[in-house]
């Protein structure tokens, strides 16, 4: 799914939403990974997406232990990307990570491009709710 992803097609949108510095940091980081690093990141992304879809389809509650384990890995994945609010040191303590998670969760549901990654609106809603619960219980 993400193996054909070309981040440069979203440059204008990213710069508009989060600023040119955020795009530049992410772009530099992505290019610095090289092919092997990019492939590894894509594999992690694909695994997360598959795990989210499986969790949503399983009938589990977003607050379940298994859903929260995926949420924790999702947060770790977000924190690994320079240029994002999650990557900044201390973001979990000053509320930045909390707001970022909740905002992304809402965007996953509101933007059909994101929702499609999680199996549609129901899957994206599950991810949103799981990330919100994670923020409530782990970032407070």
Which pLDDT tens digit goes with each residue over 7-40? 888 899 889 988 898 889 888 999 999 999 999 9
Is residue 20 situated within a structural domain?
A: no
Chain CA centroid to CA 126, Å: 13
Q: Considering the entire predicted model, what is its pTM?
A: 0.86
Collapsing DSSP to helix, strand or coil, 72 comes out as helix
Q: Confirm whether 30 is domain-assigned.
A: no
pLDDT, average across residues 86-114: 86
Burial class (CB within 10 angstroms; exposed 0-12, middle 13-18, buried 19+) of 8: exposed
Position 131 scores a pLDDT of: 98
Q: Tell me, yes or no, whether 109 lies in a domain.
A: yes
Q: At what angle do helices 20-57 and 11-18 cross, to 10 degrees?
A: 100
* Domain around 113: 35-138
Domain count, the chain: 1
pLDDT, position 81: 84
Residues 6 or more apart in contact with residue 98 via CB below 8 angstroms: 92, 135, 139
pLDDT at residue 78 is higher than 50: yes
Is 7 within a domain? no
């Amino acid at each position: 799914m993400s193996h054909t992803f070309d981040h440069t097609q979203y440059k204008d949108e990213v710069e508009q939403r989060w600023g040119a510095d955020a795009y530049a940091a992410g772009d530099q980081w992505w290019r610095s990974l090289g092919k092997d690093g990019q492939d590894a990141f894509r594999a992690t992304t694909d695994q997360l997406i598959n795990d989210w879809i499986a969790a949503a389809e399983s009938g589990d509650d977003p607050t379940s232990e298994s859903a929260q384990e995926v949420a924790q890995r999702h947060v770790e994945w977000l924190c690994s990307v320079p240029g994002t609010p999650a990557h900044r040191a201390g973001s979990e303590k000053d509320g930045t990570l909390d707001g970022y998670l909740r905002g992304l969760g809402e965007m996953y549901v509101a933007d059909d491009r994101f929702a499609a990654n999680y199996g549609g609106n129901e899957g994206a809603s599950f991810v949103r709710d799981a990330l919100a619960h994670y923020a409530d219980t782990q970032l407070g």
